[in-house]
Amino acid sequence: MNPTSLPIVPQISDDQLELYALQIMKLQEDDTPLQRILHEMEAIAQAESVPIIGALEGRIISGLISMRQPPVRQVLDIGTAIGYSAIWLARVIGVEGHVTTIEIDPLRADRAREFVRRAGVESQVEIITGDVFEILPGLSRKYDVIFQDVMKHVYFAQDDSLALKLLELSVEHLAQRGILLTDNAFCQGKVMQLTEYNQVKGIQAYNAAIATHPKLNSLLFPFRDGLWYSRRR
């Protein structure tokens, strides 16, 4: 294994209770074109080892967002991959909402655009290709929700301080009472160990910082690979 790469988190947990929860929650599914696209993307991600959040986390994030009042209208998705999370986000906020999503890999961004088009949410989703540290400072909008799903990316191996830099940039772009969701807080358990990986060191520092951040009230959900739910004060 390349010393700067980390294993991809499986989209389906082997935890029996999580599997049961997913089975029960799937009873809510409707046989719609959008839902079929999500299933197709899950199969592709499994076959090609593309990192996506998976169906259980998609439902949980959707539920958390849907409970916010006033309703969410502006969402920033950091780490598009093939567009799976962007489609979940677009679906939950409805046609009056807008998702801006950032992806560093142009090939993945192009695939995401095609999936977004086929899912019928093209008018709601803007995909920006490039480096989040170059793009985000130039975005003037404040977001009701920011979903951050990039810290395990090999990009973060170059400097363990990048995770903290992204946290502060995210807080700056979060609306009052806005929600910051951060995936991979557990890094498959590696956060509990001494490590040579800068990504893991960055996540360890991020976890400590977000837990005590003066502008955030934060809760860590211990399912899948760990999900932070933080609300701006």
Residue range 67-87, pLDDT digits in tens: 999 999 999 999 999 999 999
Highest averaged pLDDT of the listed ranges 4-8, 11-15, 168-172? 168-172
Band of pLDDT at residue 158, cut at 50, 70 and 90: confident
Give the domain 16-232 fold: Rossmann fold (3.40.50)
Phi/psi class of residue 226: alpha, beta or left (left: φ > 0; alpha: ψ in -120 to 50)? left
Global pTM reads 0.94
Going from N- to C-terminal start, the domains of the chain cover 16-232
Higher pLDDT, 151 or 88: 88
Under 8 Å between Cβ of 183 and 146: no
Cα separation, 10 vs 119, in Å, equals 23
Q: What is the mean pLDDT of the chain?
A: 93
Q: pLDDT above 90 covers what percent of the chain?
A: 81
- Phi then psi dihedrals of residue 30, to 5 deg: -105, 150
3-state helix, strand, coil in the chain (%, to 5): 45, 20, 35
Cα-Cα-Cα-Cα dihedral sign, residues 229, 36, 188, 86 = negative
Q: What order of strands is seen across the sheet that includes strand 174-183? A: 125-129, 98-103, 74-78, 143-148, 174-183, 227-232, 216-221
